[in-house]
Amino acid sequence: MIELMVAASLGVMVVSAIQSIASKTLWTVEEIQASTEVLEGAQYLSGLLSRDIEMAGFYGDFYPSYTAISGLPNLCQLMNRGAVMQAMPYPIAGINDVASGYKLCGNETLLSGTDVILARSSSVVEQSPRYKWQAQQIYIQGVLDNFKVDHGDNLSAFSLHKGGKVAPVRAWQQTIYYVSKDNIFKRRRFLRGKYLRSEPLVDGVYDFQVEYAISSALDSSHCNTQENINYLSPPLTDKQWEQVVAVRFHLLLRSSWQGVDQIGKRFHYAGKYHDIEEGGYYALFSGLTAIMNKIPKRVVFDLEI
């Protein structure tokens, strides 16, 4: 009897140990899956943002060296020939800490406290033969410091030549990135004369903050000194928007896995604190991207987040 009791006790201990190990292993696997989920979402968004920010201000074969005189256009403004010419000195624009209930372009309600960013550029692809042009699409043609802007239904406007041939023509494009109130990171692209429907990109985004590197020496030969770079959050003046040379963004994501409780955890970024008030697995991702078409000389950026 004693031997049976000892054997039973040992059996219970072994089973309990196996169960504990299995439970911890399962928890670890789920945590890895949760971290992988948020990492994949962050990598996807960081790639999209970095690519559009880096190419902002690319208008083809010329550089718009003129100074804006009409001021920064509204993000939601419907673009025509005049609006595009007004917007070209401002390849990047944004909104800081949207208020509760704010609706982007009077349409979709955004997540309060998050930021919005817009990137403007032309397509890197030269326009195909004219029979494929879209009548309502806005196009840009440029040679050195001379350029033409017009819709696709006015082909005669694109009369510039380069090297004895008609200069390349490229489609105008701009994209707004934001977080909706249901924590979905989305974008709206302006194509063919209007903003398209919002495109859901990644779910589980709980904050999106943007800082802008302002260079007061953008046209100076001393633009390679770190002291000339200041990071600011909007609202900026029109002149400061012209001087944006890089963008630093922060994304706070939460996994759909509820197996961990991070309530009370504090994240510090973009000059603010974000306290976790709901259960789940959270992770913060940050990126810094230079606007290559706004930097005539090498600029050193502070990579410390």
| Interatomic CA distance for residues 270 and 248, integer angstroms | 9
Please give the pLDDT value at position 218.
46
User: In this structure, are residues 207 and 114 in contact, taking their beta carbons and an 8 Å threshold?
Assistant: yes
More confident residue, 259 or 282: 282
Contact (CB, 8 A) for 286 and 250:
yes
Six token digits for residue 224: 């390679």
Range of the domain at 75: 2-294
Q: Position of tokens 């208008």?
A: 59
With 0-12 / 13-18 / 19 or more C-beta atoms within 10 angstroms meaning exposed / middle / buried, residue 156 is: exposed
Asked, for residue 282, whether it belongs to a domain, the answer is yes
In 3D space, the residue among 195, 155, 149 whose CA is nearest the CA of residue 172 turns out to be: 149
pLDDT of 224 reads 40
- Is residue 300 included in any domain, yes or no? no
**Structure confidence by residue, pLDDT tens digits, 284-298:** 999 999 998 776 544
Angle ∠(223,227,228) on CA atoms, nearest 5: 40
If you average pLDDT over residues 274-281, what whole number do you get?
85
List Cβ neighbours of 61 (8 Å cut-off, separation of 6 or more). Answer: 142, 143, 144, 162, 167, 168
Say what percent of the chain tops pLDDT 70.
75
Residues 205, 179 contacting (CB under 8 angstroms)? yes
Q: Would you say residue 283 lies in a domain?
A: yes
In a domain, 236, yes or no: yes
Give, for 32, the enclosing helix (H) or strand (E).
Answer: helix 2-55
> What are the beta bridge partners of residue 25?
none
Query: Is residue 305, in this structure, part of any structural domain at all?
Result: no
Q: Which of 99-103, 209-213, 234-238, 282-286 has the lowest mean pLDDT?
A: 234-238
Instruction: Find out whether 118 and 75 touch, Cβ atoms under 8 Å.
Output: yes
Number of separate domains in the chain: 1
- List, for residues 44-82, the tens digit of each pLDDT value: 999 999 999 999 999 887 766 555 567 788 888 888 888
For residue 223, pLDDT over 80 is answered with no
303 occurs within a structural domain: no
**Cα–Cα distance measured from residue 132 to residue 123, given in angstroms and rounded to the nearest whole number:** 15
Q: Answer whether the bond into residue 235 is a cis peptide, omega within 30°.
A: yes
Query: How high is the pLDDT of residue 79?
Result: 85
Q: What local confidence, expressed as pLDDT, does residue 220 receive?
A: 38
- Verdict on whether the full-model pTM lies above 0.75: yes
Is the residue at 237 inside a domain? yes
The least confident of 25-34, 92-101, 121-130, 249-258 is: 25-34
Q: Is 286 part of a structural domain of the chain? A: yes
Above 60 in pLDDT, residue 229? no
The alpha carbon of 180 is separated from its chain's Cα centroid by a whole number of angstroms, namely: 14
